[in-house]
Structure 1
Amino acid sequence: MRSTHSGYTRLSKVHKMSAAGLGAAGAAAVVFAVVSGGPAAAQPVAVKPVAFDATAFTSDEQGRGELARQADGAAEQARTEAAAKVKSVADAKAARAKADAKAAKDAKAKADRQAKERAGKEAASRSTDRKPLKAAEAPAAAPKAYGNDLDGWINQALDIMRAKGIPGSYEGIKRNIMRESTGNPQAVNDWDVNAVNGVPSKGLLQIIDPTFKAFHVDGTSWDIYDPVANIVASCNYAAKTYGSMDNVNSAY
C-alpha cells in the first residue's frame, strides 16, 4: 500500500534495507577500483549515501502495539459481556424458581382454607338439619346398665343414637364392626391409603381422626378408641353420607 509523507513516496522497510545494501556495495566497488589502479582511479564515482529512516520502524511498532491493545480490549469486553449474560440467565432461573415456590405455597394455603371452610359449613348444616329432641324423646333419667362387651357397646350406642336422631340398627352396626375390626376397639389399620397419609383408621368401625372429630356426638367420649363414641360418630358419618350405617356393606 502506498502512502505519502512530506512530498515523497515512503519506502517500505525491505526497500530501505535493499537501498542501503546497494549503497554499501557501490562504495566497496569504488575502493576496490582505486586500490587496483583501474579506470575508477582516474575517474572516481561519487556515491550518494542513503539515509536510514528509523521512523518507519517506529511507526510500524506503534501500529502493531495499538492493534494488540485493541484486540486485548475486545477480548476483555467479550468476557465481561459473556459473564453478564450467564449471571442474567442464572438470576432469571432463580427468580422463576422463587415465584413457582411462592405460587405453590399460596395454592396450598388456599386449598387448606377452603377445606376448613367447607368442613365448618357442613357441620353447621348438619346441626341445622337435625330435628331438636323433644322432652318426651329424651332417655329415661334412671341409669341403664350395659355390658362391657360388643353387645353392650352396640346397645348403648343405639340408645344415644335414638336420642340424637341418628338412624341405624343393631344388625347393621354389628355387621360392619365385624368386617372392619372383628370387634377389637383398639384396632388400627397401618397399611391402607389413610395410613400412608398419616391418618390411620382406628377403633371398632375404623374411622379416622378428622372424621371422628367432625362427627363426634355430644355426651360421648372424645377418645376415638372408646367403643361407644366410635360407634356413634361412625354411624353419624354414615347417616350423612349413606343414609344409615345399615346401607354400608364395604369400606366407607
Structure 2
Amino acid sequence: MSASCTRLTKVHRASIAGIAAAGVAAITLSLVPSNGTTETEAAAQAAPVAWQADAGSTKTIPVHAHVTNQQSTIETQVEAAAKAAAKIQAEAKAKLAAAAKKAAAEATAKKRAAEQPTSRGAERKAGYANNLDGWIRQSLDIMKKNGIPGSYDGLHRNIMRESSGDPRAINNWDINAINGVPSKGLLQVIQPTFNAYHVKGTPHDLYHPIANIVAAANYAADRYGTIDNVNGAY
C-alpha cells in the first residue's frame, strides 16, 4: 500500500474517537435504571437488612439479638408457668393426703370404740351423774316409761335405810341369808324377786344400781302400790 492509504488523516481520527465516545455513553446509559438510581445503589437497596439502628445513639444492634431476647423471655415465662402448675398440683396432693389420713384416723378411733367392752358408765345416759343422785334420776325416767310409780324422795328414803347408798351392800345374817338367798344392792333385793320383776332394758345384774332400783320399785308397786308406801323392810 502507499503511504497515503495507511496514514489516517486528522478527520478520520476525530471520527473514530467520536464513534468510540458515543458507544461508551450508550453502554453507560443502558446500565442506569430509568429512575436515575445507579446499579450499585439498587443492589444496596435490594440487600437484606442485617442491622437496625438504635434511635438513641449511633450504635447498631443486630436484628437477631431481638429475636434471641424474645425467645429467652418466652422460655422464662413457660418455665414460671410450669413451676406454678407443679406447686398447685403438689398442694392439692398434700390436701388429699391430709384428708385421707384424717378419715383413716377417725375410722380407726370408731373401730376401737366399737371393740371396747361396754362399761357401766357407758350404759348410763349422758347427763346422769355416776352417783346415788344420778342413779335415782335415771331410774325414775325408766320407771316413768314403764308405768312404774314412785318419787325421788320415796326411792332415796328406802335406799338410805336399806344400804346407806352402797350398791355392793349385802345382808348375810337375816332369814333370806339363812335360806341361801341374801338381799343385795341399793334396795336389798333377793335374786328370785329381782328375776321376777326385772325391767327389760336394764342390765340383768342384781348389783347394778339402776337395775336394782327399778326392779325393787316394780316389786313395791305390785305389792304396796308404790315404793313411796314402803317404810320398812319389804
Q: What is the TM-score when the length of structure 2 is the normalising length? A: 0.47
Larger Rg: 2
